[in-house]
Amino acid sequence: MSYHALSQHFEQLHHLQHLGAICGWDQATMMPSGGNEARAEALGTLAVLCHQQLQDPRLADWFADAEQESSAREHKVSLAEMRRQWRDATLLPADLVRAMSLAGSRCEHAWRSLRPANDWAGYLPLFEEVLNLSRQVASARAETLGLSRYDSLLEQYEPGMRSARLDTLFGGLKSWLPELITQVQNKQRNEPMLQPQGPFAIEQQRALGLEVMTLLGFDFNHGRLDVSAHPFCGGVSEDVRLTTRYNEQDVAQALMGIIHETGHARYEQGLPAQWRRLPVGQARSMGVHESQSLFFEMQLARHPAFIARLTPLLERHFGAQPAFAPDNMARLYTRVSPGLIRVDADEVTYPAHIMLRYEIERDLIEGRMEARDLPERWDQLMQTYLGLSTKGNYKDGCLQDIHWTDGSFGYFPSYTLGSIYASQQAAAMQQQQRSLEQLIDNNLSSVFEWLQQHIWQHASLLETDTLIQQACGQSLDATAFKHHLQQRYLG
Amino acid sequence: MSYHALSQHFEQLHHLQHLGAICGWDQATMMPSGGNEARAEALGTLAVLCHQQLQDPRLADWFADAEQESSAREHKVSLAEMRRQWRDATLLPADLVRAMSLAGSRCEHAWRSLRPANDWAGYLPLFEEVLNLSRQVASARAETLGLSRYDSLLEQYEPGMRSARLDTLFGGLKSWLPELITQVQNKQRNEPMLQPQGPFAIEQQRALGLEVMTLLGFDFNHGRLDVSAHPFCGGVSEDVRLTTRYNEQDVAQALMGIIHETGHARYEQGLPAQWRRLPVGQARSMGVHESQSLFFEMQLARHPAFIARLTPLLERHFGAQPAFAPDNMARLYTRVSPGLIRVDADEVTYPAHIMLRYEIERDLIEGRMEARDLPERWDQLMQTYLGLSTKGNYKDGCLQDIHWTDGSFGYFPSYTLGSIYASQQAAAMQQQQRSLEQLIDNNLSSVFEWLQQHIWQHASLLETDTLIQQACGQSLDATAFKHHLQQRYLG
Ligand SMILES: [Zn+2]
Ligand SMILES: [Zn+2]
């Protein structure tokens, strides 16, 4: 009966989070700006309430009792996931949570104007405050969880992942990625490439986006597509709200963004209905989530067979032009070019951006590096991995990301874990079924069935390693990623 | 300090209600239908939580202490409004609240298919259950409040209003309204009238609606216009969400609906900023709310001077046609025609629909009439007031409204109170300033200033009678309404 009480309690929490997700989506897509202050207050009250819900004094007893009574495996796993949320909400002193939240808002808010002004000196004291508090958070978590400080933060986004393992993984990448980047650049140097000529009417871009979402199996009975300044996939799994932003001069940007978010969305829509209201029914980790968006964006949408299907759609919406030829579009979509900005990076150079951030945030949290050393270390690693300098250019260097401004240390590795998992999934799928080319030509349904069966339906019922092992025959391993890049970019 | 604690507590409640209002709006305008079940659950949890917030055991002590400490008049009034919400939430036994909610949902849900099927026999047992529980609710409220059973329900929508007063008011109306209806029909019988020829593209109707909202002073920094099956004015006062529905064949329907909801919206947007988060900062009553929408829809938008301003807008969006001539549009918008359906009724026959419902719901709740007698009584009163029969025609008779299906007895009088208050306000405004014709020609700003100063800014800081007395020099009185109808329809 305690399991039942816990379920009800967490379902109630889920309902509150549902309201927060929809109102957060509304804030980004629909709300007139004059409504922002009242909305922020309302969402603030909700956050406090959700936190209180997790601090309900009855929970400790219920957990203790439930350990005794429940024996079904799924209930045990469900219980463990509830316990994880409970633990995360209760292990920090309230004062620290409040101080962290305040310092994070202050730093993030200032960053919005300091970054365009390239003002590192103005940013540093605010960032030092955030780092200082983040270290305290990490220490408190580390002590309770029996992990290192950085690992205790990583655990929030990638349960079970450890920095020792990332060191090995990224160490492997570092041994071949820079050389690969150079080879690809040499190969691509003399390839002809036409840029599609705009303007591309936004209404047509939206119509095209909806068509491609349909092709990708998005369920419009349980979701919608809208516009926001920063694209995201929000809402709830019964009603997934994804957003994009359109650029009249660039048809690729919104379309690839939509495809990426559609990958996130299908994972959400594919979570098992009977577990949706409980922690165990949520997506497994940020890395697994990103593996789905990157599977859609990189494995599928940049595949020549998929690009061949896009051309007639592009022509129908915008008229024919030479740049829409599949060969040319494929070259456009796979152009490799080292650059300063992570979010603009191509598939091949992206991991370099992540490894750089990983090394820095790990050392910052473990106390092996100080905030003031950030620009120099950034510049040095950019030189090493991509041969670029960011000296004096803070806004395109260490000030470019929002993540650290509010203390989200430990998140960055998820992006590259996602790339690697996606490659493993694509390799396994092709080994178990047919080539991706054939699967794409065959209307993609086998692709979605495979993902549903191997990833989506398991939600958090399996640990990440087990999930990937069962799906791909091996747990985390960058070999498939390397082969994928070699084949696509040098093959 | 207890006043402070109470304020914080009610502000928190307001924040939760904010999230509910936005998610409710989303449900009606944006949500894909597959999201409905999860949304209903989430909103259900929120309703329980809001109810719990009002049942917090600390409230009783805080109220007792606050009575001692606070002396500022506004704090006393604020306290009284908090106390009213607290009382309403706590005076019913939880079992009865639950039973009422269940029976109401069941009856309302069934009504959605029983009404089109004209199935009175299927509806009756469900309605009897709702009536039975509503009588219990009324008895419990009556006992605590020291009111009659029906008055205790009326009190929910029109604080301070009593059926004895409505009997007198409606008795007065009955003495002249049927005769007036006949006279107007005779006068209008031979008036020429052209129907505007559609179709009217929905995008153009929307653009026209936005223009008219701007003309009416709607603040788009604090609100939006969208589409829903049943038009309403929702959201929060900092972010008012109004909706309409478009009919390609009828340009008047959506436009008048938008103008009506804009009246509700400007009241919300005009509520005093410093009180918005507390009960005393909310709209005074449903009747006062409706007086604002009807001021906009009836006093302003059907005024010949306003219609003259609409014609060029109509022509710009849809091209010129003879029907758009101001004289013809004025005749269209003031056509009087007794009909069976309340929501389609014109300004003159509308009160007849309300008086009929008032007499029936009063007698149902007071136990002077039973559910099974409803169709006969309905038919008899329709014959008396409008000379129409609904014998055997339940769907256009006693099954047409949603209100009673979930037990909202006591609401209907608000509509006609709104018409009467609006006429009083228009009369007072014209006496204190200039004719409505001049005010409209002068860009309406004096109209909005008068409403802001006399109605909107007072929120619930004054009792309804005081509010109307101070604004109009007299409290509730149908004389101005009678003069308005005589002048517009027979003058
Ligand atoms: Zn993503
Ligand atoms: Zn209304």
A358 and A383 inside one domain: yes
Neighbours of ion ligand 2 (CB under 5 A): B 293
B427, two tokens: 């009369």
Contacts of A449 (CB under 8 A, 6+ apart): none
Nearest to B6 by CA among B71, B85, B73: B85
A445-457 per-position pLDDT tens digit: 999 999 999 999 9
Q: B468: which residues sit within 8 A by CB, 6+ positions away?
A: B421, B424, B474, B475, B476
From the list A422, A460, A398, A365, the residue with the least C-alpha distance to A158 is A460
Contact between chains at B35 and A239 (C-beta distance less than 8 A): yes
Q: Is A148's pLDDT higher than 70?
A: yes
β-bridge partners, A243:
A226
- Residue B376: count other Cβ atoms within 10 Å of its Cβ: 13
Residues 230-269 of B with CB under 8 A from A: 235-236, 238-239
Could you say which of A46, A220, A276 has the minimum Cβ distance to residue B19?
A: A46
Mean pLDDT of B57-74: 89
Q: Kindly state whether residues A323 and A459 are assigned to the same domain.
A: yes
B38 vs A220: CB contact, 8 Å cut-off? Answer: no
Residues A149 and A298 in one domain: yes
CB of A312 less than 8 A from some CB of B: no
CA A277, A280, A281, A286 torsion: positive or negative? Answer: positive
- Provide the 3-class DSSP secondary structure of residue B226: strand
**Which CA distances in Å does A404 have to A107, A119, A252, B17, B189?**
9, 16, 29, 33, 75
Residue B176 near chain A (CB below 8 Å): no
Chain A positions in Cβ-Cβ contact with residue B220 (cut-off 8 Å): 32
Residue A70 has pLDDT above 90, yes or no: no
Q: Collapsing DSSP states into helix, strand and coil, what is residue A107?
A: helix
Cβ–Cβ below 8 Å for B30 and A33: no
Give CA–CA dist B241/B21, Å, rounded: 9
CA atoms of B250 and B300, how far apart (whole Å): 20
Residues B281 and B412 in one domain: yes
Do residues B21 and B154 share a domain? no
Give the lowest-confidence range in A31-35, A65-69, A112-116, B463-467.
A65-69
Q: State whether residue B16 sits within 8 Å of chain A by CB.
A: yes
Contact call for A30 and B31, based on CB within 8 A: no
Give the span between the Cα atoms of B328 and B341, in whole angstroms. Answer: 24
Active-site residue, selected from the candidate residues A81, A108, A129, A261? A261
Q: What mean pLDDT value characterizes chain A?
A: 96
Distance, CA of B395 to CA of A115 (rounded, Å): 64
Question: CB of A260 within 8 A of CB of A293?
Answer: yes
Please tell me the distance from the alpha carbon of residue A424 to that of residue A426, in angstroms, as a whole number: 5
Closest partner residue to B34 among A31, A35, A222, by Cβ?
Answer: A222
Report the C-alpha gap between A84 and A75 in whole angstroms: 14
Distance from Cα B27 to the centre of ligand 1, integer Å: 27
Residue whose entry in the numeric block shows the structure tokens 């389609």? B344
Residue reference for tokens 């390693």: A465
The backbone torsions φ and ψ at residue B402, rounded to the nearest 5 degrees and listed phi first, read -85, -25
Structure confidence by residue, pLDDT tens digits, A389-443 = 999 999 999 999 999 999 999 999 999 999 999 999 999 999 999 999 999 988 8
Q: Does B26 touch chain A (CB under 8 A)?
A: yes
Could you tell me the CATH number of the domain that includes residue B194?
1.10.1370.30
- φ and ψ of A235, to 5 deg: 75, -150
Judged by its nearest atom, the ligand closest to the C-alpha of residue A295 is 1
Partner B contacted by A51 (CB < 8 A): no
Ligand 2 centre to CA of B260 (Å) is 6
Q: Which positions of B are catalytic?
A: 261
Is A397 near chain B, with CB under 8 Å? no
Phi, psi (5° rounding) for residue B235?
Answer: 80, -150
A43 vs B: CB within 8 A: yes
Residue B66's identity, in one-letter code, is A
Nearest ligand by distance to the CA of A419: 1
Task: Give the length of chain B.
Answer: 491
Residues A81, A222 share a domain: no
Instruction: Report which residue type is found at A434.
Output: R
Residues in chain A within 8 Å Cβ distance of B31: 239
One domain for residues B20 and B162: no
Rounded Cα distance between B433 and A306, Å, is: 70
- Give the separation between CA A346 and CA A336, rounded to whole angstroms: 6
B64 pLDDT above the threshold of 70? yes
Q: Which residues of chain B does A26 touch, with a Cβ-Cβ cutoff of 8 Å?
A: 22, 26
Is residue A340 a contact partner of residue A353, using CB atoms and an 8 Å limit? no
Q: Which of B22, B34, B238 shows the shortest C-beta gap to A34?
A: B238
Residue of A nearest to B16 (CA): A42
Q: Are residues A389 and A326 in the same domain?
A: yes
Whole-number Cα distances in Å, B262 to B42, B131, B218, B311, B347: 29, 34, 7, 19, 18
Q: Are B113 and B107 in contact, with CB atoms under 8 Å apart?
A: no
Tell me, yes or no, whether A150 and A185 share the same domain. yes
pLDDT at A69 over 90: no
Separation CA B135–CA A449 (nearest Å): 55
pLDDT score recorded for residue A71: 74
Displacement of CA B30 from its chain's centroid (Å): 23
Q: A38–B12: do the CB atoms touch at under 8 Å?
A: no
CB contact under 8 A, A19 and B15: no
Tell which residue, A419, A434, A438, has the closest CA to residue A476.
A419
Q: Looking at CA atoms only, how far is residue A444 from chain B in angstroms?
A: 24
Say yes or no for a CB contact (<8 Å) between A221 and B33: yes
Confidence class for position B67, pLDDT limits 50, 70, 90:
confident
Residues A225 and A283 reside in one and the same domain: yes
Residues of A in contact with B30 (CB under 8 A): 30, 224
CB-based contact, A19 to chain B, within 8 Å = yes
Instruction: Please judge whether B39 and A239 are an interchain contact, meaning their C-beta atoms are less than 8 angstroms apart.
Output: yes
Please spell the DSSP secondary structure of B418-454, one letter per residue.
Answer: HHHHHHHHHHHHHHHS--HHHHHHTTTHHHHHHHHHH
Smallest-distance ligand from the CA of B265: 2
Inter-chain CB proximity B31 and A239 less than 8 Å: yes
Query: Quick check: B289 pLDDT over 70?
Result: yes
Range of the domain at A298: 141-491
Does residue A278 belong to the interface with chain B, where contact is any CB pair within 8 Å?
Answer: no
Q: In the numeric block, which tokens belong to residue B433?
A: 């300033």
**What pTM value is reported for the model?**
0.94
Question: Of B19, B30, B221, which is closest to A42 when you measure between CB atoms?
Answer: B19
Residue A88: CB atoms within 10 A of its CB come to: 15
Chain B residues in contact with A22 by the CB 8 A cut-off are 22-23, 26, 39
d(CA A395, CA A419) in angstroms, rounded, equals: 26
Q: Phi, psi at residue B93, to the nearest 5°?
A: -65, 140
Cβ separation of B22 and A23 shorter than 8 Å?
yes
Ligand nearest to the CA of A418: 1
Half-sphere exposure of A196 (CA within 13 A, CB side): 27
Burial of A118 (0-12, 13-18, 19+ CB in 10 A): middle
Can you tell me the distance from the alpha carbon of A476 to that of B427, in angstroms, rounded to the nearest whole number? 78
State whether A222 and B30 contact (CB < 8 Å): no
Chain B residues closer than 8 Å to A235 by CB: 35
Give the distance (Å) from ligand 2 centre to CA of residue A203.
34
Flag if A45 and B16 touch (Cβ within 8 Å): yes
Q: How many CB pairs under 8 A join A and B?
A: 104
The confidence band for B70, taking pLDDT boundaries of 50, 70 and 90, is low
Distance A137 CA to ligand 1 centre (A): 26
- What integer best gives the mean pLDDT of chain B? 96
- Across residues B368-386, what is the average pLDDT? 97
Question: If you measure CA to CA, which chain B residue comes closest to A15?
Answer: B42
Rounded Cα distance, B417 and B475, in Å? 11
| Residue A120 sits in the same domain as residue A218 | no
> Annotated catalytic, A37?
no
Number of CB atoms found within 10 A of residue B225's CB: 19
pLDDT reading at B292 higher than 80: yes
Beta-bridge partner residues of A239: A236
In this structure, which amino acid lies at residue B98?
R
Rounded to the nearest angstrom, the gap between the alpha carbon of residue B67 and the centroid of all alpha carbons in its chain is: 33
Best mutation site among B22, B203, B243 for testing chain A: the one with the most A CBs within 10 Å?
A: B22
Torsion of CA A135, A136, A139, A145, to 10 degrees: -110
Which pLDDT value is given to residue A94? Answer: 86
Three-state DSSP class for B125?
helix
Task: Name the nearest CA neighbour of B263 among B286, B295, B228, B222.
Answer: B295
Q: What ipTM, to 2 d.p.?
A: 0.93
Element (H, E) at A392: none
> CA-CA distance, A429 to A422, in Å (whole number)?
10
Task: Identify the burial level of B113 via C-beta atoms within 10 angstroms of its C-beta, where 0-12 means exposed, 13-18 middle and 19 or more buried.
Answer: exposed
Confidence of residue A121 (pLDDT cuts 50, 70, 90): very high
pLDDT at B72: 85
| Cα angle: A477, vertex A482, A486; to 5 degrees | 160
Last residue of a domain, one of A100, A120, A140: A140
Calpha distance B259→B301 (Å, rounded): 7
Residues B324, B392 within the same domain? yes
CB contact (8 A) between residue A12 and residue B45? yes
Give dist(CA A476, CA A173) in Å, integer: 13
Minimal Cβ distance to B35: which of A19, A31, A222: A222
- CA–centroid distance, A294 to ligand 1, in Å, is 7
CB burial of residue A374 (10 Å; 0-12, 13-18, 19+)? buried
B210 in reach of chain A (CB within 8 A): no
Residue that finishes a domain, picked among A95, A114, A140: A140
Interface contact A44, partner B, CB < 8 A = yes
Residues A279-305, mean pLDDT to the nearest whole number:
97
Q: Which among B22, B32, B49 has CB closest to A224?
A: B32
CB A407 within 8 A of CB A100: yes
Contact criterion met (CB < 8 Å) for A38 and B239: yes
Last residue of a domain, one of A140, A173, A202: A140
Measured distance CA(B337)–CA(B128) in Å, rounded: 33
Summarised one tens digit per residue, pLDDT across range B75-108 is: 999 999 999 999 999 999 889 998 999 899 999 9
> A361 vs chain B: nearest CA distance in angstroms?
36
Give the model confidence (pLDDT) of B8-40 as tens digits: 999 999 999 999 999 999 999 999 999 999 999
8 A C-beta contact, residue B253 and residue B203: no
Residue written as tokens 């004054």? B462
Return the percentage of chain A with pLDDT > 70, whole number.
100
Q: How many domains in chain B? A: 2
